[in-house]
Chains A and B, each alone.
Chain A
């Protein structure tokens, strides 16, 4: 029929017009407009600390600003899902932590995304879990705490159910052979207050907000295998005999399918920002209880995969792994 032929011709012609658009898209200069940096927490959280020293510099290096967009909610799920489903053109990136990217998909049904829906750009910082007790309390070392934990059920506060803190403590319990009572609190602040007020024996958190010192809190251990820059005198769990290598990582991810050149460009920009200002950045991060850990996309992917394997094992032992 004549109509159909005409239609096919027009259709083919239209498709041919589109072709150049499809191929040239990846070769466009990047970036030509501001990049949305999506935060999974409300402002003032850990992610802000990780990025605040980089944002402006990176914006200048790239020639376009990084615009912060805060999408708190669902413990990081909302923001992560948002970026996972965003257009993979490099203009929407996520500053996430391993809680939102790894532990949540392992423990939550119907989440809508997994780590594999995103691809890493770089790691920025890390902030290990800290075991905090009252400074003038009965526990002077982690060994004291573990000894007591074996003889009676100790109570520990964390900043949320299935948070990295909860997972870390359960890991210790499994390794050392004790069961402790987990009392979740709505956030790090209340969890610290619980330890300070003597309502729980120990509080596991990421970052103390400056509450270490006489009359306040003492840190018994850090969750990493190597000593933490902000608290170099605090022994690691590995030294104490329960290596777990758990940490809170703050890294930048993009939706899967984002072109590699763009990922690389963003990573190089962060690297340069770090090189230009290394001392000041480190100083700030140390004071804010973060360690600088800039890693390339490949290194970050490796880190995330290993982290995933570790966490999966612990979560499985806890009995909360979803299929």
Chain B
């Protein structure tokens, strides 16, 4: 590995102007991430015109900073007020918010920040060394492989529910149904659209998540408001994670980093799936799975690391092939094209200062974010000390602004409110929103992958098993799914076999 390249990259990234753009990017990104609803894609769209006047390297440095900054910031409101700042921070709500309610909001934020930093750096290292090789692997992923991957993800995710499996399945099926609303992209046929423009693109994950988690939480808390003014215990034990926290988190961080890197590589994969899978993996591997959902620190460490790692990995298909992995990457591709830069295998040769400069600035950006976020933890915690009757209108206000900022569409605000009411009712009768969200995100992907695969195979289901990668993933998925049912039988066999 040629060190001169990365050193050259640092010399580009450490120029005063690029440092400034990096800082602006991560700062804006963090703020955007904290504000619920307003996401990196909206922000990058807004910033795009100003990047026309910048040099291409500086433009990408700034936009990339916004993206991973948003992943850092997204965890803040998830932890403090159960409102995911990003769809990728939904799982952080599950345990992070519980930690905050127990007075451990500081450690939660700290672990999230450090995890994001470590995993983000891991993915940049991966990007540096493995970009072309990883890109080749990513190309091998066709629809059957995606389908198999999602089957695997689903079998993981079954373990994330703490309550009754029947109720979880019902929520998942509801999620699948909501996921069908929109325009079927294989045939172009509208489903459940009723001629309403907003619904043509489906029900967005952001209004749903903000409603189910954020608004529902506010409604729930308002019930208790009559008795008390503060919802969160403000006796803050520490602002920083304890040694025990670190011991438990470090492995989760590394696992999350790997999961995020791998899933971020695949076009269509990304931070959301990475955070779900990481959460499920942590719960599955944990010796105390019952702690999840009640403030297990791994439930914050894993997903937050995974989503930041996915961001770094997202750049690989873009830089090496010009394939955008998701909307944000497509925007960055757009910014590059406007500057006349064509990403592709030639990019590394034709514009090395862009490629290495951006990589170097990602290291720098991660450091900046860590330095930015840590002192802010103390300030964010104070937010919790605000009497709830003053806090909740602001929360709702930010929700509304956030949702509206996506598409300037009032109907999406109404969708959020509807899901807020639904979420509130769900809490009353003890149904969890998480399976609904998972299903809503994954089932459209799964359906499309299935149908594309069957188109490719002209109807033969064997395609999932005739290709090596997809066969492996399918088999793993099936084994994982079946295993817990088989465990008692297997254990029996081993015991009797031994004697």
Q: Using an 8 Å CB-CB cutoff, how does the interface string of B164-189 with A read, 1 for contact, 0 for none?
A: 00000000000000000001111110
Measured in the bound complex, the distance between the Cα atoms of B324 and A42 in whole Å is 14
Of B81-89, B92-100, B238-246, B340-348, which stretch is located at the interface? B340-348
Question: When the two chains form their complex, are residues B323 and A190 in contact, meaning their CB atoms are under 8 A apart?
Answer: yes
> Which B residues are in CB contact (< 8 Å) with A184?
185-186, 452
B49 contacts the other chain (CB 8 A) = yes
A71 contacts the other chain (CB 8 A) = yes
A262 contacts the other chain (CB 8 A) = no
A124 contacts the other chain (CB 8 A) = no
> Which A residues are in CB contact (< 8 Å) with B458?
153, 181
Question: When the two chains form their complex, are residues A209 and B322 in contact, meaning their CB atoms are under 8 A apart?
Answer: yes
A160 contacts the other chain (CB 8 A) = yes
Measured in the bound complex, the distance between the Cα atoms of B140 and A2 in whole Å is 86
> Which B residues are in CB contact (< 8 Å) with A45?
334
A259 contacts the other chain (CB 8 A) = no
B200 contacts the other chain (CB 8 A) = yes
Question: When the two chains form their complex, are residues B455 and A44 in contact, meaning their CB atoms are under 8 A apart?
Answer: no
If the complex has contacts A184-B185, A184-B186, A186-B448, are A74 and B200 also in contact, measured as CB distance less than 8 A?
Answer: yes
> Which B residues are in CB contact (< 8 Å) with A52?
52, 338
Q: Smallest distance from the beta carbon of B339 to chain A beta carbons, Å?
A: 10
Question: When the two chains form their complex, are residues B139 and A78 in contact, meaning their CB atoms are under 8 A apart?
Answer: no
If the complex has contacts A71-B408, A185-B452, A211-B344, are A193 and B321 also in contact, measured as CB distance less than 8 A?
Answer: yes
Measured in the bound complex, the distance between the Cα atoms of B327 and A42 in whole Å is 9
Q: Smallest distance from the beta carbon of B195 to chain A beta carbons, Å?
A: 4
If the complex has contacts A77-B200, A210-B343, are A183 and B267 also in contact, measured as CB distance less than 8 A?
Answer: no
A115 contacts the other chain (CB 8 A) = no
Measured in the bound complex, the distance between the Cα atoms of B121 and A299 in whole Å is 55
Question: When the two chains form their complex, are residues B188 and A107 in contact, meaning their CB atoms are under 8 A apart?
Answer: yes
Q: Smallest distance from the beta carbon of A279 to chain B beta carbons, Å?
A: 15
A199 contacts the other chain (CB 8 A) = yes
Q: Smallest distance from the beta carbon of A203 to chain B beta carbons, Å?
A: 12
Measured in the bound complex, the distance between the Cα atoms of B137 and A193 in whole Å is 12
Measured in the bound complex, the distance between the Cα atoms of B190 and A110 in whole Å is 10
Q: Smallest distance from the beta carbon of A77 to chain B beta carbons, Å?
A: 7
Question: When the two chains form their complex, are residues B185 and A186 in contact, meaning their CB atoms are under 8 A apart?
Answer: yes
Question: When the two chains form their complex, are residues A49 and B337 in contact, meaning their CB atoms are under 8 A apart?
Answer: yes
Partner of B346, one of A73, A182, A194, A213: A213
B398 contacts the other chain (CB 8 A) = no
> Which A residues are in CB contact (< 8 Å) with B335?
44
B331 contacts the other chain (CB 8 A) = yes
If the complex has contacts A52-B338, A209-B342, are A181 and B185 also in contact, measured as CB distance less than 8 A?
Answer: no
Question: When the two chains form their complex, are residues A44 and B343 in contact, meaning their CB atoms are under 8 A apart?
Answer: no
Question: When the two chains form their complex, are residues B456 and A210 in contact, meaning their CB atoms are under 8 A apart?
Answer: no
Partner of B334, one of A43, A112, A183: A43
Q: Smallest distance from the beta carbon of A175 to chain B beta carbons, Å?
A: 23
Q: Smallest distance from the beta carbon of B486 to chain A beta carbons, Å?
A: 34
> Which A residues are in CB contact (< 8 Å) with B334?
43-45, 48
In this complex, what residue of B is CB-closest to A110?
B195
Measured in the bound complex, the distance between the Cα atoms of B184 and A162 in whole Å is 11
Partner of A287, one of B44, B139, B340: B340
Question: When the two chains form their complex, are residues B139 and A197 in contact, meaning their CB atoms are under 8 A apart?
Answer: yes
In this complex, what residue of A is CB-closest to B408?
A71
A189 contacts the other chain (CB 8 A) = yes
A216 contacts the other chain (CB 8 A) = yes
Measured in the bound complex, the distance between the Cα atoms of B48 and A181 in whole Å is 38
Q: Which residues of chain A (124-178) have a CB below 8 Å from chain B?
A: 153, 155, 160-162
Q: Using an 8 Å CB-CB cutoff, how does the interface string of B307-349 with A read, 1 for contact, 0 for none?
A: 0000000000100011110010011111101101011111000
Question: When the two chains form their complex, are residues A193 and B323 in contact, meaning their CB atoms are under 8 A apart?
Answer: yes
> Which A residues are in CB contact (< 8 Å) with B333?
44, 189, 209
Q: Smallest distance from the beta carbon of A10 to chain B beta carbons, Å?
A: 37
Question: When the two chains form their complex, are residues B338 and A187 in contact, meaning their CB atoms are under 8 A apart?
Answer: no
> Which A residues are in CB contact (< 8 Å) with B141?
197
> Which B residues are in CB contact (< 8 Å) with A190?
267-268, 323
> Which A residues are in CB contact (< 8 Å) with B102?
none
Q: A197-B142, A209-B322 are in contact. List 16 more A-B contacts (CB 8 A).
A: A42-B331, A43-B45, A44-B338, A73-B201, A108-B188, A160-B185, A161-B185, A189-B267, A189-B323, A189-B324, A197-B140, A197-B141, A210-B322, A213-B345, A216-B345, A288-B338
A-B contact pairs, 12 of them (CB 8 A): A43-B44, A44-B334, A52-B52, A52-B338, A71-B407, A112-B197, A155-B455, A155-B456, A181-B458, A197-B140, A200-B456, A210-B322
Question: Using a CB–CB distance below 8 Å, which chain B residues touch chain A?
Answer: 41, 44-45, 48-49, 52, 138-143, 183-188, 190, 195, 197-198, 200-201, 267-268, 317, 321-324, 327, 330-335, 337-338, 340, 342-346, 407-408, 448, 452, 455-456, 458
